[in-house]
Structure 1
């Protein structure tokens, strides 16, 4: 597959075009995923100030050469200044001269940080809260981003294919999780998208159970939720498996209902559709089976540089799905007396429907 470059260089100009409508002369970006999105910089410490005329990235000496290399590689035009925090703040103060209103990312700036910036850095400007300016750009993925996510999903698929034959009675949940993580790294992942979930038997009734020393048993359900990161972008997938035949008819029915629920949700995905409609499609199937109270979370979420980002796919979401957004569809049923079932895929929203990125078989038995 040909590798398509991401259009990182075009992102700051698109953000600059949003500033007037947001009532800002400039925007301070402190959320690291947003900084990476705008500039290609992957370090752990930086601030970016975007004005109508320029972008300034400040960081510390650990990232002197890295920042220059990464912005050059991404073909991003920005001024880079390196120094200790007092030097960085002086650079930002001088770059903000003449600005009347400067936006802060409300979701990632603490009250104490806002007070410091107002009193000691941007003393001549009014600081205003902004919400989701960069995130609105991140909703729609370019071909380079989709390529990275396809690779991340393929890595996760291949890792599960390697691990699936190793699922036998007597192996511990944590051993399975560790093996999955190892295989994803071996196959090219930078890291796992999040802490891998392997939850067997009654543990499966906890949607975000942590892998334990509990041993897998024949006939019980095993929920496996995991993902890989490639070039900064995440994948997310859940499969529910069983060693041998399910021990009860109830377990088999749980799987059938969730499988039908997910199919209904996937069939409803399309650009222009309300995200809440996808949730409703999944939730209706589970409610008709008598388990509405056992579906205890939203149907899905956006995926990208962060494992959880917009749009939210749930009953109260006000988002409308956009072409080339990437979301998950992951209904579940959780019954403490039986265990849990969740089936999840990461998909690209298209004008006609959706295109799956995760493609592992959904066969129950191993």
Structure 2
């Protein structure tokens, strides 16, 4: 990625700093990677008005120097002591922490050390909000990576459909999907893949087991791949052998809600309005109490990030946001249906990353 992009991100982050004696302390590894391009370091980042420092231990120093941009890489031996040295050299008297990431124990440990050296520690949400506002809008390079992650996911999905039939185990489908994704370029799966069948499809986050696929079952795929740190997220529900009239009716209601929400998405629209569009259709069909989760969420370096697309969301959609559209109906002890696309918000609508068909497939 272009070095200028990382420098721009760090400079935008520095708007938190109101005085030359203030600094920013980043411990979230996703945020560190977003700001400098180096992920998985188990290190920390210090941003001052003049310089940015990435602290890593011996295991990561060579990789960090090759992959990071716009920061000075420091190999620490004792993190606290090495941090204090730079803080004093930079005349930092106040340090902002990410409140949403650091544990209470770790924050208190740093706070005790820094306060002893007359450095104030701020654990309010100021820094978190600025980072969230940075990450919530994806640039072209991020969008390309998310699209690639989706393409990997779809290739694996289309291939695994050839193996899905009565008699196979849920775990077998999950294992094949993960293998195919990684063989096709994924560095990881986005989350523990959801490949469930029968009555378990009424569980929004059901876990694959040794349960056997049977004729007349729904089968739910909630799947995604990671490419260069960025996630994809897609859900499809298919039927095995045949689908009853009730199954087809529920599927058509969910699809209608999903398509309506998709049409609602554009820059300037409240996320709560997108959620309401899908929810109203399901409620008017008499199944409102069977749709208990939000209509969508943001996707990027994390599988769930801002903005949330829920009834209480106060986010307004903006160009460059990546969100999911995933209404569902879950009938306990019977079956469930969820259909999910991942889209990029545009000024007049959205770009759908997902090319998979949405009409009910009966295998």
TM-score for both structures, normalised by structure 2: 0.94
Match of 1:55 among 52, 55, 61: 52
Q: Mark the runs of 5 or more structure 1 residues left unpaired by the alignment.
A: none
Residue 245 of structure 1: how far off its partner (Å): 2.1
How do residues 339-354 of structure 1 correspond to structure 2 at under 5 angstroms?
A: 339-354=335-350
Residue 298 of structure 1: how far off its partner (Å): 0.7
Deviations 1:296-342 (A, max 9, x none): 11111100011011111111111111111101111111001321100
Residue 89 of structure 1: how far off its partner (Å): 1.8
Counterpart in the other structure of 2:18:
20
Q: Secondary structure at the match of 2:281?
A: helix
Counterpart in the other structure of 2:104:
111
Whether 1:189 aligns to 2:189 is no
Residue 52 of structure 1: how far off its partner (Å): 1.2
How do residues 163-202 of structure 1 correspond to structure 2 at under 5 angstroms?
A: 163-202=160-199
Counterpart in the other structure of 2:282:
286
Residue 60 of structure 1: how far off its partner (Å): 0.6
Whether 1:157 aligns to 2:151 is no
Counterpart in the other structure of 1:89:
80
Counterpart in the other structure of 2:42:
45
Counterpart in the other structure of 2:323:
327
Residue 53 of structure 1: how far off its partner (Å): 1.1
C-alpha distance 224-6 of structure 1, shift in aligned 2 (>3 A): farther
State the distance in 2 between where 1:5 and 1:154 align.
Answer: 26
Deviations 1:126-152 (A, max 9, x none): 211233321210001111000101100
Deviations 1:209-245 (A, max 9, x none): 1101111111211110000111110000000000122
C-alpha distance 79-34 of structure 1, shift in aligned 2 (>3 A): same
Q: Secondary structure at the match of 2:18?
A: helix
Counterpart in the other structure of 1:210:
207
8 Å contact from structure 1 (residues 6, 144) kept in 2: no
Whether 1:249 aligns to 2:245 is yes
Q: Secondary structure at the match of 1:253?
A: helix
How do residues 63-78 of structure 1 correspond to structure 2 at under 5 angstroms?
A: 63-71=60-68, 76-78=69-71
Q: CA RMSD in A?
A: 1.8
State the distance in 2 between where 1:133 and 1:295 align.
Answer: 33
Counterpart in the other structure of 1:127:
121
8 Å contact from structure 2 (residues 258, 339) kept in 1: yes
8 Å contact from structure 1 (residues 6, 145) kept in 2: no
